[in-house]
Structure 1
Amino acid sequence: MASVDMRSPLPVSKVSPVASPSLQPPTPPLSPPLPSPRTITELLSLRARDFPDEPIFGYPSDALDYLEYTYSDLVRISSQAARRYAECLPSRTDSHQETRVIALLGPSDLDYFFTLLALSRLGFTVLFLSTRISQAAYLSLLDVTKCRHIVVGSSFRKTANALAAARDGLEVIDILTQAQYMTNTQLDDAALQQQHFDLDQESSKVAWIIHSSGSTGLPKPIYQTHKAALKNYENSLRMRGFVTLPLFHAFGLSNVFRGITAVKKIYIYNANLPLTSQHLLKILTDHEFEIFLAVPYALKLLSETHDGINALAALKVVMFGGSACPDALGDLLTEGGVNLISHYGTTETGQLMTSFRPADDKAWNYVREHDQLKPYLRMEPQGGNLYELCVLDGWPSKVATNRDDGSYATKDLFEPHPSIPGAWKYCGRLDDTLVLVNGEKAIPLAMEQALRQNKLVREAVMFGTGKSQLGMMVIASEQGAGMSAGDLLESIWPTIMAENKALPAYAQLAKEMITVLPAGTAYPCTDKGSLIRQAFYRAFHNEIEEVYHQAESRTAGTLVLSELELREFIRGHLLDLCPQDESTCLTDDTDLFSLGVDSLHSTRLRAKILQEVQLNGNSLPQNIVFEYPTIAKLAAAILNIRDRKSGETQDVVKEMERLVEKYSEFPQHIPVPSKSTGRCIVVTGATGSLGAHLVAQLVRRQDISEVCCLVRASSRSSARRRVIESMQRRALYHTLPLDLRRKISCYPSDFSKTDLGLGDSVYASISAKITSLVHCAWSVNFNKNLSSFEADCIAGTRHLMLLCLSAQQPTPASFNFCSSVSTVTNTPGDAVAEALPQSFKCAQGMGYAQSKLVTEHLVTRAASQTGMEARVLRVGQIIADTAHGIWNDTEAIPLMLQAATTIGALPTLDEHPRWLPVDSVARVVMDISLSSTTHAVFNIVNPRTFHWTNDLLPALHNAGLSFAQVNQREWIRRLRASNPDPEQNPTIKLVEFFSSKYDNDLTKRKNFKYVTSTAEQISPELGMVPALSTDLVKKFVGHFLKTNWTATAPTAGSRQQQSTRLIVLSGPPGVNKSTLAIELAESLSCPVIDGDAVHDAIAKVKMSSGIHLSSLDRQIWLARIKLEVLERVRADQIVHGDQPKSSGRSGKDVILTCSALSRSDRNTLRNILSRSNDETEAEYINTVFVVLQATEDEILRRVGDGQRNTMKLDMVAPRLDTTGHADVDEPDIFPVDAEQEMEAIIQEALGGLAVLT
């Protein structure tokens, strides 16, 4: 189906009355009518004049978080962009000058949108280039339109350079970003409008050039004047809309401007994200749209789940374009209550017909003539009950003709409805174009003709309309009658490959999509022997459907691959499907979508996996490549499907034994005299809870000079940021003094690589100083199978032990592996010794536990082979820390406890848990890891138990929770019957996990006695932990209630308080607070209050004279600060109202700079305007602190050098003791090392503020 525009189908008076609210007619025109613009730019100006602050356009600032732009924003930003583009494009100052054509090529993102507005504002004609056509097509369009300038997105720079090399005089200009053209936000439209255009003349000039698909040859340009385009945009359904089509597509562009014209908000899809059902569903459910405009592929994705269909059914209208919607898909949606509207039009004619209809009319796929169109519509018979649609001269939005009488023959074929007059079903193209479900168009003639020339082939017919990829039926000739279907296919395959090379990816044929029919097969043809295509499709409908069924369900692969082998298999086929200049850019963690992998590549890769990889009879989800968009994630998902659902019992024990043998050879350590004076401890897993607590405790030891964190990250700065944020979220970072924080070093790493991804230089530097390594990192995914843990975890552990053996020390660095009690869950008997279990069968039946047990064996073998101190630290259930009660609320136990607040019930279990606070575990791990013990295995579990029902449930009641106590089966019944929305009822996410444990009559569960004597001897901390601390229960319940357990949707009529974050930027003199404040204010788009300027006159005189301020001076200053902050917060002009910010926060920010602050000062600033429980206050202020710190010597040096401060030198020293010191209960403080480069300080501060929300 040709690309289309949208138009109101019938005058309102002509619409039949309906009962269903989902089939209401379009909204009547605005009354009074809005002024009629003459150009695209005038459209924006008029709307901005009448509706300056009306949000009209939405685009994500990051992933799926949308920002809205008002009409004033569109005018202002496009004006700014126009001024910058005017610097690099030839000027056009008045209407007498010929308009120049400027091509636009790139992803349909925000910069693309503002660029097309800016180019139009400058009086240029914009040539929209599809991102999916060939170089020959680009060159043809540039030549025909006489275009000599092309503006390109960065991802298409290589394409543009190739075009410039092929065409002399073509200038390539990089698309500008907002950061480049938003230089002066105060300039208005008039100040930038230097041109003197006659708008009446401009109205008849070409605004846009949109090209045809080129499915029958080279694409043809279609010219749209401002007048024609604006006339087209007047025809609108006037509904808040969401569009997934790109702006270079006529359907996408038209509907965006229809929303702008009709003052109806329009959102477009994030061009940097793959089109997945999860993304679409979140957008549709997060926003109150009325109409959804998409290609059928998007509807297909959403139709695969009930939630997707329900989201579509909640809309007033769902309208598709770009291609026909398969009948089965449309029927499924309409049966699900979706008001599905088909519509038809072309780029050359604009919108023509839709399937708006009465509620009792179920023919969603028949578009209807309307009174306005009928005089200009002609249906010309083409035989077989098919008609070609022609649009006669005079139709207002027609911009092209291809017949002498001025009409336009569309070459689109329609079939009339058997009983509804004026209703037509689109059947295909007269020229046999095949239109895939994603809207891509392919012409089959060249491929078919090439094969027909082969003596083995009688007939070749391609198919694929409405499908995800093309297929072909090949009928053997008499010469090929004696060959098997497989042999004949192999014989013709070179011809197909040769033809494929000249075709875009979506038009290419895959071997598995070709079916060979025997010689003599009868098929519809004319008396001259020519194929009757549509009749062929009808006659072979079942056979065609079987091809797709086989492609989707094929599971005949025989390759049995490990995870490493599967990753390489996927990588190889991805490079075949989507070649890259550098194969090294396709790493295991590369986002596949960023490399250009699209829906067709996804379909073909899935088919290849099904064809070649053994899946034990299981299939793969249709969208598996987009749902797991890296090689590592995809491989793990495939193996999980293969093993988890396999009907064959796999010998996991033999696999575990094989892995132990594979990785258990270790070289001997070469002793080197020690040069280091302090210990260097390498820690993995510092971004996790245990790792973060371990780092915080290690740096406090005087005998440790460095704690080196190996982190999965892309850079050193990213690794450092992740570790800091992890410690900050757990309230560990703010209390560390500057000298201790400087002990922490962070490096990006990849444990699957022999050098740990560090590179030779960094590896050698760590090898030269390492004394111990504590390995806390592990993939915590209980659904993954054993093989999925091989590369990163099992092999990774060996690589870490090799680092210990490379230590430039007299002895190897000690290696300490944090294992899990899940390795001994199936131990026979009642006791678990501090030793390896007797059998691999002792591990719990999941890959996580099995991989940990394999690694326990590797550790003990390394110790016996090399003499290194290698230890297994078998850790039990870790819970919240004792200081703050912080506990990850997504873990199983917190989710179970949360049921007290969501379903009002907890189960009465006869269990005896052994819980250990995370800070206690960290202390025990540290004590053992830094000891000289030669013992190999330790059980780090609580020696004491408590009873779930007798001890924990009363403690939860005492902590403030109110809930019923029910038996385990009743609890599962209530959980299953509870709110299915995981946002409101997070416990529901683990309903199947809990059911597997408690939906039975088994009440007594095994309670092991863990031997902990050796661990307690080395770390007495373990023996002193209570079985259950009621104080700790109160802390973690309080933490949960303050955070996620109270995150519920606002009730109807409730008043939601608006948050302002007061960022107090403090520190001693000379640490560049003012410079940092300016940089942060620019990043956060917020004002700055200079705290020193708020002092009264007396205080300022004292400060300038070197006199210390009194307590009264400080009180007066704090009172003045409070008034200043409140004035800023309550001023409407502080930030753009309640508009979302670039920082991603929904509230507003204010920065306050000041010098040293005492604890009482900080408390005063925290209480300027606290959150109101009774919601009588519209605003509340959340105060956070960023404290710049430097050494005393450095501060005095800077002050002595007179670096931008006026504080007297003798006033500095007394302020140092109070600067930046944070108490344990002040996690709202984030300290920053001020002796770094300014850019590092800025990024670290922004990272800290991302947590201090």
Structure 2
Amino acid sequence: MATTQSGPEYGKRLLPHVIDCVAKTNPNRECFSTPLSSNPQDGWRAVTYGQYATAIDRLAHHIVKTSGTPEPGSFPTLTYIGINDPVYLVFVIAAVKAGYKIKALFLSPRNSEEAQLNLLQLTACDIVYHDATFQKPVEAWKSKQTSLKNNLLMPLDFWLDENGDQRSFPYVKDAKKAEWEPFVVLHTSGSTGLPKPIVVPHGFIMLDDKKHLLPEWKGRESVIRGLARTNRMWTPMPFSHAGGIYTFFGYHIYWETPVTFAIMDRPLTADFVVEQLAHAEPDIQSIVLMPSILEEFSLTEKGCETLSKFKFVVFGGGNLSDATGAKLLSRGVKLQNSFGSTECGMLPYYWQSNPEAWQWLIIHSDVLGVDWRPVAGEDDIFEMVIVRKDGPFSQQGIFWTHPHLEEWSSRDLFQRHPTLEDHWRYHGRCDDLIVFSNGEKLNPVTVENAINGHPKVKTAILVGTMRFQPALIIDPVSHPLTKQETKSLFDEFWILVAETNRRLPSHAQISKQLILLTSPNKPFPKLAKNTVHRAPAIKLYETEVDALYQKAEAGWEDARCNLDLGSKETFLASICRLFQTLTCVDTIEPDTNFFKAGIDSLQVVNACRLLRGALRNKSDKINPQRITPRIIYNKPSARQLTADLWAQHIGSLEEVDPDIEAANTMASLLAKYTKDLPERPATDKPPARTSQQTVILTGSTGRLGSFLLDSLVQDPAVERVICLNRAEDGRTRQLRLNAARGMQNNLDKVEFLQADLSQPGLGLPVEMYTRLQTSADRIIHAQWAVNFNLPLDSFEPHIRGTRNLVDFCARTARSTHLVTVSTVLAATSWNGHDSAPGTVPDGGYAQSKLLADLIVQQAAARGGVSAAVVRVGQVAGPEGDGLWSVDEWLPRLVCSSVRALGLLPRSLGVMSMVNWITSEAAARLVLEVAGLGPDGINRARGVYYGVNPHPVHFSTLVEPIVGFYAGRVRSVVDWRDWVAALERSNGEAADVTQNPALQLLDFNRDTPAEGSGVRFHFSLESTLEASRCVRDMLPITPEMFVQWCRKWDF
């Protein structure tokens, strides 16, 4: 064993050497205690290091006798499967010793036959050792894998028998040479598919020995050192599981702390734990328990009292609900959180000495090499990504199990503590994220924790993938037997759900009609850690969940939403009450715009359900199929909606041409916001500066906005950038997004102001507004809500904001140049009053953008401001190191094609002509039109188009994409066939992290096929003449697309 004159050489000690060394120097030192039987009253047997080492040598000789000595460097695989007892712990070291090159694959008894055979095949394992209880299953495996040889292994008592073979089995290895040799092969839990083997080398497990060298950090000791301060620990860890192997060898052996093993031949309960503790050794000072067992302990005073006697209680393998933790804490229980994984081992976190912070891990990010990467749309939620980083105290187990990687995306999400530095709380998996059909995302952990805190709830699972809102499946502790009991339990749960809803964003709130109780004959499947196996559990209840949603779509009946059809006036009043009840808004007047009052897309869906349910038996003329979100988007006030529904009710509904209706609304808004546009000033203002400039930018946190800001920060001619953001913490959000996009975070010359462009004075204090008028040289307006569902009048605040910016420019000290970023969707021939088919843009978003363009163009023509419009098409990925966001439609399409469908479309329907521009090119064009940079256009006017003048067909990119993904794309199909395959892949159990195009299923379904007659043409003559950026633009090449594929890492 590696030692120096000053003592052990920590981090360089191989486990067989450590065990043999202690056995030689202190043979009677206790290593572990194991139950004598399945009856706690029979007690436990203490096993010394001398006995353990002898058992290992005895089994090593047996392995060589029964399986031979392997050829040097051949690395054959042995496996063992048996009851949960210390034979596993003897076998792994014996296998390492027997010929030096043998790996031990540990199979979990909980695996299916398919999983076991798959693991045997993946590891080329033909030799299985087993105990008597697994004789029949192994024989069954042999019938399907004929090369398999099996060996019955004697029980633990045989290997510990003092009268047995006493021959030693020397292990002569140098730690440096053996560090990459296999120590053991474990496997993942299989929570996202079949379990996968993980080869654990000696160097990996020696990291726990190296933790002896971890110094105190910020006054804290490492958690493993804190655990070692206990005389003895009681643990129920399964020996075939990584948690059991890592804890025993990495902690109990390397830190020489005795452990008492639990009786594990039956399901563990709080009562059974208490019974075992009553007959186990009296010097047990700490205990390891799963959250589900802690939940049980918290329900009784006796349980709380039992746990309060320990120095600390370690929990892991899942989240402990806040309510349970708080109750245990109040009863004097000292909790310690733990976290690790098969691939990574135990993280190098530190001892939590603050009892109130029991949920929070203190993680040394430098030692672990963590790059905390923000999750889009989530505040203070980060994914743990480990980046290779060498250092004297480095603890990076992942690069021992995955040596080919430079960084590892754990898929584990953590929440950062708002005030305590280095404190992180586990927040679930990226894979668990629910992505709703409207694009909203939800991590179910917070909701499930709140519901799981109820004493009558065993487990709650939130579902809703590709639905419009979540549903809740509750597995109660005790299932009701009668309808009355069901109703009482349901009502009791609803009180907690309603309370939880108040703390959730609207898209995450659970409706009463979308709660399901499990059936007693369909229990949730469990993993080895006694946590629910999420995907199979959701699949198990797929039919019931589908029926729940279908019933909800048919309409909800709610006593609070009684519609009075006695007259049009009473009907209007009851519609107002319905929306008031739905939204909790104090007052909904007949002419209140629903969306300006804060109604969101989920509430629109629920309003439709309530209307269908309330009208079901009251009017046979109102077609429930017409009550869809579209009618509310198009009739966004109680008066408008009532007029439409009442006309149906009395049979006088006349269909209005939507183009005429849209044209009339647009004409009214255009007249409103072009009234009294600023005139040309009597005397010319000083021109905008060309150096030491101040540039005002809106929308800096959007993708294009981020590239604009990045360029402005690097422009030496720009002295100051003023970012007007809707959010209060603009700088914090910008820094987070820049880090995620790989952009620089030097924002020293950027000032962030909270503004509301729709308000007078841009919502700024008077003195701030005046200062900006004095200093501004250029304004780039890139802020707009992107929502293709909302009607035109919902965008009126944005349209008003554009007019307010025009007025601001008219009053600045210099001739401030305004550039607004628009969309090619606004490129129609509508002239302010025409309603001919095809002239009015489709949808409120495009209509609002066109109105803003016309306001700017008319203002420039009037001479009151210098202004221009840039209509941008598809902005592709970056030319440089950044990432094309995987949340956009095309990356989603590629991801689904590769991960879920195995099919790639040869075209993109009517969007098959790839006239995309890169992110940098889009930013360069906008800056040129703003008059910035060496190729800035002086006082640009009119409309410029951000599309590629050298389009290529998508089919020219298909072959390189297929080649890059090397066999993962089985076939190339037509657009319609690809969409049909995407539709077939939909379902409650669909994993949108693997199949994200499902999130845009409606968009893909509605995209016309190529050759449908729908085409987009843009006149680029003036843009090419004025813009060097567009003139020099190159077509999108296969090499560029492959580069984006490489960065997506699908």
TM range (shorter): 0.3 to 0.5
* TM-score after normalising by structure 2: 0.45
